[in-house]
Amino acid sequence: MTNVNYKELKKNGFMQQIQTDNFSMRLKSVGGHLTAAQLQTIQEVAEKYGNGTVHLTSRQGVEIPFIKLADIETVIDYLHKNDMEVGACGPRVRTITACHGNSICRCGLINTAEVAQELDIRYGGKELPHKFKMGVTGCPNNCLKAEQNDIGIKGALKPLWLEDKCCFCGLCAAACPGKAITVDKSAKTLTLDEEKCINCGKCNKVCPTSAWTGEQGFLLSFGGLYGNRITVGKHLLPIILSQEILYKAVDTALNFFAKNANKGERFANTLNRVGWEKLEKDLQQIL
């Protein structure tokens, strides 16, 4: 390879090491999901073209270090033949992270793998003024730390109590982490303080008589940032109860960022400079 564009290589997943003409290659994964066959391919590439080791990144990715400059095109071709790709770096939408969600985890309220795949289809690798990170977590236990992402998506439940089914046992009140439920067993009364409710759905899960039900949805946070500057993402919308509105909200945020950000400026810094209320106004129009 001649006239090497190292900036372009980094943008496309090959990061220079301190060792001359050696690169750590980032692989594409969505929601931390890899098949056994893909893991075998990773092993083969690491052993044949690297130094036999791999690195697991903080965002559920895999990097293979010690890829030689002369082997890059061969490695890319080998990955394509084995249903794998190099991951995105640079000023674009990065790897979509996700926890197990309700397809595996007992606490999960949404299908995180499905949402992560759809986010990747719609936005994966999208060019933007700076890098942009999205994470999907299945419930308010928040294993994926949603608020540390530029956009965080959290599974949530909007609870509904059915009085005629309630036996007033108090299990829901005992399980509620926000102490939003109060049960008086002798008077057979129950109250829900919606301001304290964190929409975790634990009342629904522990109820022995199905007196708690509700609608599953999504809580979004915007402008999270984690690194040498830390910002906790803000919740600018109520629970979103449809995937159609979910993706409209993501569209709105990405369009806002693309329109208003300076080159090399993260989403949180754009919002601090331009004004959070402007994004909130745009988001309200989709409801």
Write the DSSP assignment of 112-152 as a string of letters: HHHHHHHHHHHHTT-B-SS-B-EEEESSTT-TT-GGGSSEE
Q: What Cα–Cα distance (Å) separates residue 85 from each residue in 18, 27, 81, 192?
A: 24, 6, 10, 49
User: 92 near 125, Cβ under 8 Å?
Assistant: yes
The CATH code that applies to domain 97-157+214-284 is: 3.30.413.10
Q: Considering all CA atoms of the chain, what is the largest pairwise distance in Å, rounded to the nearest integer?
A: 82
Task: Give the residue carrying structure tokens 């030689």.
Answer: 68
Residues 6+ positions from 237 with CB-CB distance below 8 Å: 220, 249, 283, 284, 287
pTM: 0.93
Residues 6+ positions from 137 with CB-CB distance below 8 Å: 98, 99, 112, 143, 144, 145, 146, 152, 153, 154, 155
Segments making up each domain of the chain, as ranges? 6-81, 97-157+214-284
What residues of the chain score a pLDDT lower than 50?
A: 1
Q: Tell me the C-alpha distance between 110 and 201, whole Å.
A: 11
Phi, psi for 255 (deg, rounded to 5): -65, -40
Architecture per CATH, domain 6-81, reads as 2-Layer Sandwich (3.30)
Q: Tell me the C-alpha distance between 199 and 219, whole Å.
A: 9
Span 160-217, pLDDT tens digits = 999 999 999 999 999 999 999 999 999 999 999 999 999 999 999 999 999 999 999 9
